[in-house]
Structure 1
């Protein structure tokens, strides 16, 4: 009798737990798309480290090559009419320091006046120093020597060298070119103007005034 009761209990227990077992099997064999969604940790690839490209600083002034410190340019002028005045002055400069430029130039001037009957040619050269006191303001010292035509008591239309020590300033606008760094609007004063006379007391300066104005590319 006890054996029959035990057998009956075993059968009933099997019937009760069999749905649960089948449910677990179904869950196990169910496709992934039908399973209960689970939060999966996706492995993220390591973030690429971007190399910070630092701007290469400008080379120290003393380390700049010779050609990067050279300036080339000059000034020119043209006036036609009753008075013809042609002026051509090529120049070359070199940056001695970050603020100081030294250089030389040559000048050729042709002057003709129909009214006074002048027909003259002047030529010469000059040396200069240009110091930047502000980013766009420079002080300029210049010594120019010019060969001019002059009348003397003994001979007309002879030639003579005159020296012009000049001092002034310029306002500069950068151009950014390789050799022509800026255009300079220059005003100079000739300290020797009143002494540049011929034997008759006539002034022989080619500029006609102690003030010299130029537009120079350098």
Structure 2
């Protein structure tokens, strides 16, 4: 009798604990409970690779094309009233080096004075060298030839060529244009001024002074 009771108790205990064992087995064999040896890495957004591109240096001065070294411009002046003075001087320059510019120009001047009764026309040309000693300061050497009216013992209102070697400096303000690189405020001294005389000892320089002041675009 006791053995039957013990057997019945064992069966009941088995029935009671069997669902728990089954649940434990299910938990054990759940796929998400398995230990993963290889853990998948989280997806990372692609990183843009920026390669360092070396900037090409500017072309060496000697390799610059002709048009990039060319300068065009000139100077002009206008004065009206008792004294009329019209001055037009187109110029062209070329950068020989990074600091040295050489060029030529032509000049036409009309001068009229009601007080003295002058009515004259001057024309000529010039060659120049401009050297930059500082970023905005230049030394300028110029040789100008002008054809002017002159009175001689033989003839009034004759014409004569005079040469004016000049030296001076300019203060330059960059403009950044293609051909007109800067505006130059120039002061020059004419070393031949005192020798530019007619037969009567009158000075025939069209500038009226050994000092020549210009505003030039070049």
The interval holding the TM-score normalised by the smaller chain is: 0.7 to 0.9
Superposed CA offset, 1:32-53 (max 9, x none): 9999999974221331112334
Secondary structure (helix, strand or coil) at the match of 1:156 reads coil
Residues 38 and 191 (structure 1), Cα distance of their counterparts in 2 relative to 1, 3 Å cut: same
Task: Name the CA distance, whole Å, in 2 between partners of 1:112 and 1:25.
Answer: 122
The alignment partner of 1:88 has SS state of strand
Assess, with a 3 A threshold, how the Cα gap between structure 1 residues 174 and 20 changes in structure 2: closer, same or farther. Answer: farther
Q: Secondary structure in 1 aligned to 2:19? A: helix
Q: Give the TM-score, by structure 2 length.
A: 0.86
Count of residues paired in the alignment:
218
Q: Once the two structures are superposed, what CA deviation does each residue of 1:74-131 show, in whole Å capped at 9, x if it has no partner? A: 0000000000000000000000000000000000000000000000000000000000
Contact kept? 1:164, 1:190, Cα under 8 Å: yes
- The answer to whether the 8 Å contact 1:27/1:35 transfers is no
C-alpha spacing 1:104/1:25, structure 2 compared with 1 (3 Å): farther
Task: Identify if the C-alpha distance between structure 1 residues 9 and 94 changes in structure 2 by more than 3 Å, giving closer, same or farther.
Answer: farther
- 1:150–1:36 distance in 2 versus 1, CA, 3 Å: same
Q: Tell me, yes or no, if the aligned pair for 1:106 and 1:124 is still in contact at 8 Å.
A: yes
Q: 1:23/1:2 Cα in 2 relative to 1: closer, same or farther (>3 Å)?
A: same
- Does the CA contact (< 8 Å) of 2:27 and 2:33 recur in 1? no
Listed one character per residue, the Cα deviations across residues 169-208 of structure 1 (whole Å, up to 9, x for unaligned) are 0000000000000000000000000000000000000000
Shift of 1:18: 4.4
* 2:71 is aligned with 1:71: yes
Label 1:31 to 1:161 Cα distance change in 2 as closer, same or farther (>3 A): same
CA distance in 1 between partners of 2:216 and 2:49 (Å) = 51
Report the Cα offset of residue 6 of structure 1.
9.5
Distance 2:197 2:116 in 1: 18
Contact 2:128 2:143 in 1 (8 A): yes
Change (3 A) 1:193 1:35: same
Distance 1:142 1:33 in 2: 97
Unpaired segments of 5 or more residues in structure 2?
Answer: none
Quote the offset at 1:57 in angstroms.
2.4
RMSD of the TM alignment (CA)? Answer: 4.0
Gaps of at least 5 residues in structure 1 are: none
Contact 1:85 1:109 in 2 (8 A): yes
Tell me if structure 1 keeps the 8 A contact 2:147–2:160: yes
